Structure 1
Amino acid sequence: MKITDLSFVSRGEHGTNWDVPPTDDYVAACTRGDEMAVEYMQYLRLNPGAKGSNVLGAIIGDARPEDNRGYLVGFLGTVERMTCEALMYRDPVQDLINTRALYARAEAEQDIALVA
């Protein structure tokens, strides 16, 4: 699955990671935002290599909440709920420690390769 497979991502001349139609129906937009979040989470599940690549940042960076606030409320609410559920099984502090150690090892290996 590619990021462009997400229904709310468009590519082309003016590609964006948040392509949603304007609406005055807040409830419908919230519902659609929930669905979009599930798509995004499924994308992450099927693409574990995307971990840490800031896909979520790119999506939020393209979102325009002033035009379509309901979409964003539904999207972020679902991402937050699913994150909370996942954190029942992970320790975020330990994860940060592990991530920093991983980066430090990679940097040390790169320094060794540059010397060799």
Structure 2
Amino acid sequence: LQPLIPDDTNILAGLELGGLPIATMLAQLSGLPACFVRKQAKEYGTCKLAEGPDIAGKNLLIVEDVVTSGGQIALSAQDLRNLGAEVSQAICVIDRESGGTESLAQEGIELHALFRMSELK
């Protein structure tokens, strides 16, 4: 996955829950900082949606394990954009080829996958 990280990436954004260990591994390998993105902010503790470095004005790469429809990436991207981050790309381990790539393109997000489902059959 590391070669799929765009050069202009400032922060890796691992989505809860499957994207977290992948973003952590990629941060370790690449030296890039990572933030962990919740599906919704908790009402206690830090009450943050994105835990980690400040994301405002930064170019984030969303990291996910498996993409089907792309819905969670689209929702999280909008939340991150509302917090001032720039989000235009995402990577995943497996693209199930169920419309996620096309759906995300409509949201201005380019999806890069390590594997496509058709390659694994």
TM-score (norm 2): 0.26
Higher relative contact order (CA 8 A, sep 6+): 1
Hey, which of these two has a bigger chunk of helix by percent? 1
Looking at secondary structure, tell me which structure has more strand per residue. 2
Greater Rg by CA: 1
TM-score (norm 1): 0.27
